[in-house]
Amino acid sequence: MLLRLPTMRAPETTSTTQPSLAVAGIQLQYGGVAALQGIDLEVASGEFVALLGPSGCGKTSLLRTIAGFVHPQQGAVRLNGRDVAGLAPRHRNIGIVFQSYALFPHMSVLQNVLFGLECRGIPKSAATQRARDAIGLVGLSAFADRRPKQLSGGQQQRVALARAIVIEPDLLLLDEPLGALDKQLRVQMQTELKALQRRLGVTALFVTHDQEEAMSMADRIVVMRDGKIAQIDTPESLFAAPNSAWVCEFVGAGNLLRGDAASILPGAPPGSVVQVPFDKLRVSPAANGMPITGRRFLGAMVELQMATPGGIVCAHLSPAAASAFTIGTHVHLHADPADCRVLPH
Amino acid sequence: MNTQMPRRAALALYLGPVTLFYLVFLVAPYAMVLRLSVFRFSAMQLYIPQFTLANYTAVLTDPFYLALMARTIGLGVLVTVISLLLGYPLALKIARAGPRLKSLLIAITLSPLLINLLVRTYAWLVLLGDTGVVNKWLQALGLTTAPLPLGGNMFAVVVGLVHVSLPLMALSLIGVLERIDAALVDAADSLGASRARILRKIILPLSLPGIGAGSLLVFTFTISAFITPSLLGGNRVSTISTVIYEKFTFSANWPVGATLVMALLVINAAVIALHGRLFREA
């Protein structure tokens, strides 16, 4: 069903020395309030990067800075080596998928997708062909003459995507692209979006507050907090080795043990925080242990929750192993020191 | 609490007073005017209650009345177009302004409506007369040697009508322009559209309902206006309204006056119907 756009660039297999997007030393203030405090970020060509963080962390400000809607007080934004700091959005050649989709309500799907091509002065017939190819690529050929309000949320999302990629942008920005969709559709669109981005080989940066979404789509994740970058890593590394207790907690990379509990790890300096992945925390029945306070079936795993003096800790067990435990069962907790990590301060 | 009033009875209770008001003060007068318009004119006793269509034949065939209606409609179109051309940039500025500037600009825009109609009209007479402020300044600055004919003509009428129409037009436009999603402008910008293209392709089409509502308001207001054309026109500019006044007072031809009232009503109804047809989808 999906067509190959002949005009699209092939995915780049060799990494070039020059990053597709380079952001350096961005300082952005809104009326005295610092939204971004020294952001440095490089995104390689063809890479799919997620900006992840809680609301108010500056991820949307960073996206709008890169897009050119806001102008930082300090710092540089380079696109394929071209300094775009002083350029208006219209001169940056960046495709954007807005959270609300921002489809033009008075235009058909085809007219929406044609808009960017018309702005570039591309002859009508060539532009129409490209627009139809892009609409086909997102599987909406049968809906080209519909108005946005005649489409479902998922279909509108695809139109927004087609409109953003048809201009062959140097960079694709997506602002909470799947936020308005229901859970099932969101998971399906995650897969589709990722596949499409790979096929087109377009460098993409997307904003999300949903760590699962970031994990499932991104090549690398930029975790942001209070206008700063907390950590940049691949989903696997981020999960295995968060660089702070905050990141560990935010991405859900395991239990945090503090104080006495941290002494579980021999040699851990006093006052340190120890990360124990949920599936590495073992439980054994013990009459003088602590009670299980919660039990959640997660599908492949069962989560047991225990209230410790240092807070709630969770253990993920296979359903078979978990059958021995119910709420109220008293247990002892163990972990192999090899599975534990002392988190940097 | 199970003695709920039936919906229909409750509705009648709520809508009864306003229905009665409209029946007594709107429908009944129009019915009387309609009746009057099909009576025969009599110089001796105002009218003779005898059915005739002669008044309508006169209004629809006499070149004087045809020119009168054309001039009134033309005045309406002219004032509407000028109000739109002046009001659109103003509304655009207000819609995009910050909250404090917006309140200030809206207050300034509405100020013509806060001045009493007669005071406003006499102020224009003072400004635009042969010995008025504008002509005095023009001569003092040596730009003109004789007074320009600014007052007592169509020019003065148009100026006076635009002055009051502009707030109506601007308000209609501001409401619609404010509701246009800012993300649409951002999207067009990111897709490479210039400011002019964004205005032409996004903002203008999406503000058409406001243009329609404002134009309807200004046009119907303008063609029905009486004091402004009558005073600023200096008895030299006649519109349907001024002639209706003249027919009911000086020349005491009530049947023809009533016929002109009906003509004005039909023109207004036609414009409202046209507006409804054009903007049905919104």
Counting the structural domains of chain A, the total is 2
**Is residue A105 pLDDT above 80, yes or no?**
yes
- Which chain A residues are Cβ-neighbours of B184 within 8 angstroms? 102, 104-105
Is A179 inside a domain boundary?
Answer: yes
List of chain B residues with pLDDT < 50: 1, 282
Is A292 inside a domain boundary?
Answer: yes
Residues 66-125 of B with CB under 8 A from A: none
Nearest-5° Cα angle at B228, B225 to B233? 120
What pLDDT shows up at residue B5? 65
**Is residue A264 pLDDT above 70, yes or no?**
no
What token pair was written down for A191?
A: 């897969």
- Which chain A residues are Cβ-neighbours of B181 within 8 angstroms? 100, 102
Is B7 inside a domain boundary?
Answer: no
Is B29 inside a domain boundary?
Answer: no
Is B17 inside a domain boundary?
Answer: no
In this complex, how many residue pairs, one in chain A and one in chain B, have their CB atoms less than 8 Å apart? 59
pLDDT band per the 50, 70, 90 thresholds, residue A4: very low
Q: Which of A104, A106, A122, A205 to mutate to test the interface with B (most CBs of B within 10 A)?
A: A104
**Is residue A139 pLDDT above 50, yes or no?**
yes
What whole-number distance in Å separates Cα of residue B77 and Cα of residue B220? 10
User: Are B205 and A106 inside 8 Å of each other by CB?
Assistant: yes
Counting the structural domains of chain B, the total is 1
State the residue range of the domain holding B264: 52-278
| Cα of A135 to nearest chain B Cα, Å | 16
For residues A301 and A206, state if they share a domain.
no
User: Are B189 and A94 inside 8 Å of each other by CB?
Assistant: no
For residues A208 and A296, state if they share a domain.
no
Which amino acid type is present at position B174?
I
Q: Which of A70, A96, A112, A168 to mutate to test the interface with B (most CBs of B within 10 A)?
A: A96
Q: Which residues have CB under 8 Å from A145's CB, separation 6+?
A: A108, A109, A110
Q: Which residues have CB under 8 Å from A11's CB, separation 6+?
A: A46, A198, A199, A200, A201
Three-class secondary structure of residue B199 per DSSP? helix
- Which chain A residues are Cβ-neighbours of B188 within 8 angstroms? 104, 115
Is B199 inside a domain boundary?
Answer: yes
| Cα of B26 to nearest chain A Cα, Å | 39
| First and final C-alpha spacing in chain A | 51
What whole-number distance in Å separates Cα of residue A257 and Cα of residue A272? 9
CATH number, position B62: 1.10.3720.10
State the residue range of the domain holding A217: 21-246
For residues A67 and A96, state if they share a domain.
yes
User: Are A116 and B192 inside 8 Å of each other by CB?
Assistant: yes
What whole-number distance in Å separates Cα of residue A223 and Cα of residue A195? 23
pLDDT band per the 50, 70, 90 thresholds, residue A6: very low
For residues A40 and A160, state if they share a domain.
yes
User: Are A94 and B202 inside 8 Å of each other by CB?
Assistant: no
Instruction: Compute chain A's Rg from CA coordinates.
Output: 24
Burial of B249 (0-12, 13-18, 19+ CB in 10 A): exposed
**What's the average model confidence in pLDDT over A241-250?**
91
Q: Which residue of A has its CA nearest to B189?
A: A90
Chain centroid to CA B30:
20
pLDDT band per the 50, 70, 90 thresholds, residue A274: confident
For residues A158 and A235, state if they share a domain.
yes
pLDDT tens string A288-333? 888 899 999 988 899 999 988 777 889 999 998 888 899 988 998 8
What whole-number distance in Å separates Cα of residue A113 and Cα of residue A165? 9
B187 lies within 8 A of chain A by CB: yes
What token pair was written down for A89?
A: 């959005």
- Which chain A residues are Cβ-neighbours of B193 within 8 angstroms? 90, 115, 119
CATH number, position A84: 3.40.50.300
What whole-number distance in Å separates Cα of residue A173 and Cα of residue B210? 33
CA distance to A192, A201, A217, B83, B248, per residue, from A14 (Å): 24, 12, 21, 61, 91
Is A2 inside a domain boundary?
Answer: no
Is B264 inside a domain boundary?
Answer: yes
**Is residue A13 pLDDT above 50, yes or no?**
no
Last residue of a domain, one of A192, A217, A246: A246
Q: Which residue of B has its CA nearest to A166?
A: B191
CA distance to A34, A85, A97, A99, per residue, from A24 (Å): 16, 11, 24, 25
Is B33 inside a domain boundary?
Answer: no
Q: Which residue of B has its CA nearest to A99?
A: B183
CA atoms lying within 13 Å on the CB side of residue B235? 1
What whole-number distance in Å separates Cα of residue A335 and Cα of residue B213? 72
pLDDT band per the 50, 70, 90 thresholds, residue A263: low
For residues A229 and A313, state if they share a domain.
no
Is B40 inside a domain boundary?
Answer: no
Q: Which residues have CB under 8 Å from B241's CB, separation 6+?
A: B72, B223, B224, B225, B226, B229, B230, B264
What whole-number distance in Å separates Cα of residue A38 and Cα of residue A75? 8
Is B216 inside a domain boundary?
Answer: yes
B192 lies within 8 A of chain A by CB: yes
| Cα of A92 to nearest chain B Cα, Å | 8
Which of A89, A103, A106 comes nearest B189 by C-beta? A89
Q: Which of A84, A101, A115, A147 to mutate to test the interface with B (most CBs of B within 10 A)?
A: A115
For residues A172 and A268, state if they share a domain.
no
pLDDT band per the 50, 70, 90 thresholds, residue A15: very low
CATH number, position A296: 2.40.50.140
What pLDDT shows up at residue A338? 84
Which of A88, A105, A167 comes nearest B191 by C-beta? A167
CA distance to A115, A164, B80, per residue, from B197 (Å): 10, 18, 25
Q: How many CB atoms lie within 10 A of CB B9?
A: 9
User: Are B202 and A104 inside 8 Å of each other by CB?
Assistant: yes
pLDDT tens string A183-217? 888 888 899 899 999 999 999 999 999 888 999 89
Task: Give residue for tokens 């602590």.
Answer: A290
A206 lies within 8 A of chain B by CB: no
For residues A218 and A151, state if they share a domain.
yes
What pLDDT shows up at residue B149? 86
What whole-number distance in Å separates Cα of residue A262 and Cα of residue A267? 10
**What's the average model confidence in pLDDT over A132-153?**
95
Nearest to B33 by CA among B266, B235, B191, B219: B266
Which of B187, B193, B206 comes nearest A102 by C-beta? B187
ipTM of the complex: 0.84
pLDDT tens string B59-78? 999 999 999 999 999 999 99
**What's the average model confidence in pLDDT over A53-78?**
93
For residues A63 and A38, state if they share a domain.
yes
CA distance to A81, B88, B103, B111, B167, per residue, from B108 (Å): 49, 15, 9, 5, 9
| Cα of B78 to nearest chain A Cα, Å | 29
Is A6 inside a domain boundary?
Answer: no
For residues A242 and A267, state if they share a domain.
no
**What's the average model confidence in pLDDT over A138-159?**
94
B183 lies within 8 A of chain A by CB: yes
Q: Which residues pair with A277 in a beta bridge?
A: none
CA distance to A116, A263, B188, B204, per residue, from B196 (Å): 15, 67, 11, 10
Helices (H), chain B: 7-22, 28-37, 54-61, 63-96, 99-114, 117-128, 133-140, 154-178, 182-190, 195-198, 204-206, 208-224, 227-232, 240-248, 254-278
For residues A158 and A184, state if they share a domain.
yes
Q: Between A341 and B168, name the one with better pLDDT.
A: B168
User: Are A102 and B184 inside 8 Å of each other by CB?
Assistant: yes
- Which chain B residues are Cβ-neighbours of A167 within 8 angstroms? 191-192
- Which chain B residues are Cβ-neighbours of A116 within 8 angstroms? 191-192
For residues A214 and A298, state if they share a domain.
no
What token pair was written down for A2?
A: 């999906």
Burial of B64 (0-12, 13-18, 19+ CB in 10 A): exposed
What sign for the dihedral angle of Cα A113, A117, A119, A125? negative
B205 lies within 8 A of chain A by CB: yes
